[in-house]
Amino acid sequence: MVMDDESRTEDPKKPIVQVKLDTGRGHPAVLVGSEQSRPARRARMPTSEARATELRRRADELALKRLELEEEIARRQRDLDAEWPEDLTRPHIPTVSAIDWKEQPSIPAEKIDWSHQGEPLRVRPTLGAIIATVGLAISIFSAGAYFYWGVKTHISNKQVHVPADGIPWGVRTTFETRKEAKIARTKLIHTIAEQRRAEHDQLKEYLVKALKPKRRRRRKRQ
């Protein structure tokens, strides 16, 4: 690069400093800072339909030729593989491009984008987040403890549950007159006496059957 300064001043009325750029590789030098620094661009005419058709035809011919060459190479490769003897080493061993992971630098796990969605999410434990987490944990444990001790206390409670009207659960209240009560008591006594009499007769029958000797039937001799 060769720089030629024709005038170096801060006055804007003076001409701009011209710089000559040269790569030294046979390319033409370029003057920067003058009207000759940028080559004039020729206005490109729009491509005609005939020219576009010709270019498309040539591209199709090239693609068809490439396909024919690939098929020919594949056919020759198959023929060569079929004729190649087993005791002869192939001159060209086919290889594939692969990554040598031993030569790759180690990357921390948190820097790897496993989901391929961009930069991994960073969670910063701020004071507000810590307070919210602790409060949530305390509320969950408190609710669990309250439920456990509430159920346990309810089960172990031996008191009689009395509703608002003062009548315990499961007890039916009925009202009767003295005459109805006397009739009910007489009926109850009569029922008890009948039950005792029936049980006494049944027991007597069982005892008679148990104490009565059994008679043995004699078998007839044939």
With bands split at pLDDT 50, 70 and 90, how would you rate the model's confidence at 187?
very high
pLDDT over 70 at 186, yes or no: yes
Q: Where are the alpha helices (DSSP H) in the chain?
A: 49-83, 127-156, 178-211
Q: Is residue 89 part of a domain?
A: no
Comparing C-alpha atoms, which of 40, 23, 42, 22 is closest to residue 31? 22
Q: Is residue 76 part of a domain?
A: yes
pLDDT over 50 at 199, yes or no: yes
Q: What is the pLDDT of residue 190?
A: 95
Q: Is residue 45 part of a domain?
A: no
Residues 30 and 21: beta-carbon distance below 8 Å: yes
Residues contacting 96, CB < 8 A, separation 6+ = none
pLDDT over 80 at 142, yes or no: yes
pLDDT over 60 at 1, yes or no: no
Amino acid at 175: F
Provide the domain count of the chain: 3
The stretch 100-122 carries a mean pLDDT of: 69
With bands split at pLDDT 50, 70 and 90, how would you rate the model's confidence at 105?
confident
Residues 19 and 33: beta-carbon distance below 8 Å: yes
d(CA 19, CA 12): 17
Q: Is residue 46 part of a domain?
A: no
Q: What is the pLDDT of residue 5?
A: 46
d(CA 59, CA 61): 5
Q: Is residue 202 part of a domain?
A: yes
Q: What is the pLDDT of residue 9?
A: 45
Same domain, 59 and 32: no
Q: Who wins on pLDDT, 17 or 115? A: 115
Handedness of CA 192, 193, 196, 202 (dihedral sign): negative
| pLDDT tens by residue, 33-92 | 544 445 566 677 888 888 889 999 999 999 999 999 999 999 998 998 888 888 887 777
| pLDDT tens by residue, 55-69 | 999 999 999 999 999
Q: Is residue 27 part of a domain?
A: yes
Q: pTM of the predicted model, to two decimals?
A: 0.25
Q: Which residues pair with 32 in a beta bridge?
A: 19
Q: What is the pLDDT of residue 152?
A: 86
pLDDT over 60 at 2, yes or no: no
Same domain, 59 and 28: no
With bands split at pLDDT 50, 70 and 90, how would you rate the model's confidence at 203?
very high
Tell me which residue range forms the domain holding 18. Answer: 1-36
d(CA 94, CA 38): 50
Q: Is residue 199 part of a domain?
A: yes
| pLDDT tens by residue, 156-176 | 776 656 666 666 666 666 788
Q: Is residue 136 part of a domain?
A: no
